[in-house]
Structure 1
Amino acid sequence: MLLYEYEALEIFKEYGIRTEPAVLARTPEEALKVAEKIPPPYMVKAQVRVSGRGKAGGIKPAETPNEVKLVAEQLIGTEIKGETVKEVLVSHRVQVERELYISLLTDRYSRSIVAVASPHGGVDIEELARKNPSSILKIRIDPYIGVKPYHTLRIRKHLGVDNQVERIVRSMYNILVEYNAKLVEINPLVLTPEGLIAVDRRIIIDDSAIPFNPKLTR
């Protein structure tokens, strides 16, 4: 099950991963009120459980609270890849220096966890793998051992960032394990003047684990 982005946002915050200021809105009027409490500029994101919503027009920028309301009016009630937009996430648009990619996924066949990282974020990772495979780093992590410093050091060097990413990787690993997730992804992980911020988040939960996990049934 793919979680809504706002659900993934709350989990990331719970595990100490830095995110941009963002609040859910169910109506254009709510979006206006929310935007008045968040510093401009903004991004308005349709909340749908599908991939590729950005290319489908589900993520739009706005400069003022009134523009946020107009964008929310355009998005709420429309369909994106067959799913009706009922809510939008209004967020602060951060100052981007670099966009990175990082994910952790469960590999059932090798019984391991795979960390995937690239210095090129904000793009389709599968398309990037076809066009520029050398830009993608893959590291297998033994779940009986967990994340070790030599794992995070390789990721740091590949991304060209400081040790902030070590804490992010460990937190993503904990989310993956404790939520029985198939995938925990940040795309992009943005380098800003204030540090690394997880700007777009995705979590896919193993459906078979949902009834048995108190974190998912609370």
Structure 2
Amino acid sequence: MSNELVRSESSSSPVADAGVSMPIAEDRFRTYSPARKAEIERIRDTDIDRYFAEGLDRELLAMMREDTGEAGPTDPMAVEVSRNQMMETPEGARFVMDMERLGGFKTQLHRLQGAVGGMVRDLGDARAQRVFMERFDRSFPEPLRYQIYSQLVMGPPSFVVPVTADKVKEFAVGDPGRELVREWGSDAPETIATIWKRVDNLKAAIGAAGMEVFKDWFNSLEIPHMKRVLQFIATGR
């Protein structure tokens, strides 16, 4: 979740068996531009202050980890690689432009990568993370993915009207709602209202047909993954 954000293998590739280490990255699987790596190395050798100020040290480290097969499934994709990939389609280009208007593509991408990566890492080991992300990519056409990203960037609403006690009971009829209500305690009415508000905003963005795709994806998740997704929707992290 997704090919545009992290260094995961292509969603069309089979998931690696648990316990099998990934091979050293080959050119056809590399998610960064060799020219970009050469440019960063040039800056490192000629302008060390800029190298650290722009975070190029972290970008180069990620490239080196990928070269040696150490990159994890949620390691963030380099900003320029992500931007270039998104710009290949009208929907992706629109998303990039929208993010530029919301404080800058790089800033918003880092926030999105950090939030999504943190959520996915909570789902289990590397194989479980890859399965989750690849299922997400297969479930949602590219235009829907960008709409979802946009909603994630917007974050939770600053104010909601807490739901009624009856709505809390309705939410807690089965798991994972029952467990979440116990954990949220007195915050449950406001937290549930936040979830419903964000879901309503998503539906307004993707339409009824898109919402059916979202429901099908959500209902296909394991209960622990449903729980983590609901927590993520409620808090943005």
TM-score strictly above 0.5: no
Q: TM-score range by the shorter chain?
A: under 0.3
Structure with greater strand percent: 1
TM-score by length of 2: 0.26
TM-score by length of 1: 0.27
User: Which has more radius of gyration?
Assistant: 2
Structure with greater helix percent: 2
